Amino acid sequence: MTDSTRVPTLVLGGTGYVAGELLRLIAGHPRLRLAGILSDSKPGERVAAAFPHLAVAYPHTTYLSLDETESLIASTEDLAVLAAAPHGVSAALLDRLLIVASGAGTRLRVVDISADYRFTDAAAYQSVYKHAHGAPTRLSDFTCAIPEHLPSLTTAHVAHPGCFATAMLLALVPLVSLNLIDADVFISGITGSTGSGRSPVEGTHHPRRHSDVYSYGALGHRHAPEVMGIVQRLTGTAIRLHFVPHSGPFARGIHATTQARLLRSLSTDEIRAALSDFYKDQPFVRVLAEAPRMKDVVGSNYAHLSATTDGTSLAVMSVIDNLTKGAAGGAVQWLNRLYGWDQTLGLTAPAVGWS
């Protein structure tokens, strides 16, 4: 397939870690080609300066300004958009670009990775993120879920849940859908430093984070209401999520442990069989007999789950790569779905193994 027959793809998000991961995946995707990457702060600068590891794929590519991005949209018939702009910025930016596309007759297919389209209600968004939504009339144009949990779409665009949310939803949705657990759910999760973004902060400073583990946002993290809303929309059942996130001394990966009371007595084998059956047609989710390890998924779009029970309560362990399955990889998986391709296209590379 030549570049002229690949779908032109626009990345929003500039120099962030998720944008870099999107660029890496696009470089190896058989049906996509990078048409442009927007950075309003670095227009004209080389992408390889921000991402030296991608210089072999993008030796001469430079960042676009907002005006250049709008010109690209207006001159392209069909354009895929992968949006990794910051929370609070993405909604208004996408609204502006969708208006340009509508005026030019351009078809945009958008996957947003920010939090801006994860809620169906602007007031719910504002209550969590403490600022008004940037484009409340667009909320109905987006559906938020991970690809494994939604067989078909009724909206033109998709919002991919966050990285912690992805790890939690992989365990929660089958447990709630199958009516296996009580409404009170307790989740403890640990994430790598890339989950905090590229801008240096105390939580990502190496001497502070190295050889240490600590919690943050305990029982008040913004992903909890997002996950509760998604679970209720997908299953029709409300849960009460008690979530304690932790920072870990590694760059990539998430390990989440979900605990809840069983509604009926089940063995460990029965729980694992139920999870395996739920995900039997999902190539990126594997249910294991042994405890899952992050190193077996980091650098890949795969998720590993396992479970154990004492007969009255259960624990489900899930591991993902926060930048891939939890962000860029999940977004490309959705883009494959939006174009009617096999959802695994460009995403089947195995984990690094010794990262």
Angle at 135 between CA 8 and CA 141, to 5 degrees: 60
| Count of CB atoms situated within 10 Å of the CB of 180 | 20
Contact indicator for 141, 156 with CB cutoff of 8 Å: yes
Q: Which is the catalytic residue, given 97, 163, 181, 190?
A: 163
Pick from 74, 64, 146, 138: which is nearest to 106 by CA? 74
Contact indicator for 252, 323 with CB cutoff of 8 Å: yes
Give the DSSP letter string of 64-103: BPHHHHHHHHHT-SEEEEEE-PPTTTHHHHHHHHHHHHHH
C-alpha 217 chain-centroid distance: 20
* C-alpha to C-alpha distance for 354 and 336, rounded to whole angstroms: 28
Contact indicator for 293, 250 with CB cutoff of 8 Å: no
* C-alpha to C-alpha distance for 7 and 134, rounded to whole angstroms: 28
In DSSP terms, 308 is beta-bridged to: 315
Active site residue 144: no
Pick from 81, 150, 159: which is nearest to 116 by CA? 159
Widest CA span in the chain: 62
DSSP 130: S
As annotated, the active-site residues are 163
